[in-house]
């Protein structure tokens, strides 16, 4: 009986932790930013997927795209993968392993924070990245762009 109680307790704690993690990730949201000199003001979720997976490598202006991803352990990365890429983290990682082996392409650069993402995007005209909506953009050379066709709009 004691073992059963411990197992049920462990199971309940595990479920509560999983629900808390899911809730905190859902409470956070993201916005996409591009360099302030990029003329783009709106992009589709499909285009973001194509830029991320390097199926499209240039902006409509001809500038090379430099996608800035976030670290695998951040909630905002999970939101991006689930809502925009519509994949699991493991599917994305397997894709990039295959790309490295077969084409030599590497996954996008990963930044650890909103501030470092803003810094990088402000430096390169073709850069695009995502930050949490609570981040203050400030005087940096970046702008928020509208994303059409994401799960929130569907």
* Predicted local distance difference test score (pLDDT) of residue 2: 60
Q: Is residue 71 part of a domain?
A: yes
Between 151 and 63, the higher pLDDT residue: 63
Q: Is residue 20 part of a domain?
A: no
Cβ partners under 8 Å of residue 139, min gap 6: none
CA atoms within a 13 Å half-sphere pointing along the CA-CB vector of 26: 8
Q: What is the 3-state secondary structure (H, E, C) of 39-50?
A: CCCEEEHHHHHH
- Mean pLDDT, residues 101-118 taken together: 94
Average pLDDT, the chain: 83
User: What is the H or E stretch that residue 109 is in?
Assistant: strand 109-111
* Predicted local distance difference test score (pLDDT) of residue 140: 83
- Mean pLDDT, residues 109-136 taken together: 94
Q: Is residue 16 part of a domain?
A: no
- Of 144, 150, 108, which is closest to residue 34 (Cα–Cα)? 144
| pLDDT band at residue 138 using 50, 70 and 90 as cut-offs | confident
Number of structural domains the chain divides into: 1
Measured between alpha carbons, how far is 94 from 42 in angstroms, rounded to an integer? 29
Of 30-34, 38-42, 139-143, least confident by mean pLDDT is: 139-143
Q: Is residue 17 part of a domain?
A: no
Q: Is residue 122 part of a domain?
A: yes
Judged against a pLDDT cut of 80, whether residue 36 lies above it is answered with yes
* Predicted local distance difference test score (pLDDT) of residue 137: 80
Domain, as residue range, for 109: 29-148
Q: Is residue 23 part of a domain?
A: no
Q: What is the phi/psi pair of residue 130, to 5°?
A: -135, 145
CATH of the domain at 109: 3.40.190.10
Q: Is residue 113 part of a domain?
A: yes
Q: Is residue 141 part of a domain?
A: yes
């Amino acid at each position: 009986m004691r073992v059963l109680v411990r197992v049920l307790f462990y199971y309940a704690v595990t479920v509560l932790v999983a629900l808390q993690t899911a809730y905190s990730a859902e409470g956070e949201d993201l916005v996409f930013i591009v360099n302030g000199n990029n003329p783009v003001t709106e992009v589709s979720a499909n285009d973001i997927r194509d830029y991320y997976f390097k199926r499209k490598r240039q902006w409509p202006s001809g500038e090379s795209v430099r996608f800035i991803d976030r670290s695998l352990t951040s909630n905002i990365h999970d939101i991006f993968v689930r809502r925009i890429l519509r994949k699991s983290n493991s599917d994305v990682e397997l894709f990039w392993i295959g790309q490295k082996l077969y084409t030599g392409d590497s996954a996008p650069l990963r930044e650890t924070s909103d501030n470092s993402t803003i810094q990088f995007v402000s430096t390169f005209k073709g850069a695009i990245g995502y930050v949490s909506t609570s981040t203050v953009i400030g005087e940096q050379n970046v702008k928020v762009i509208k994303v059409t066709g994401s799960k929130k709009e569907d």
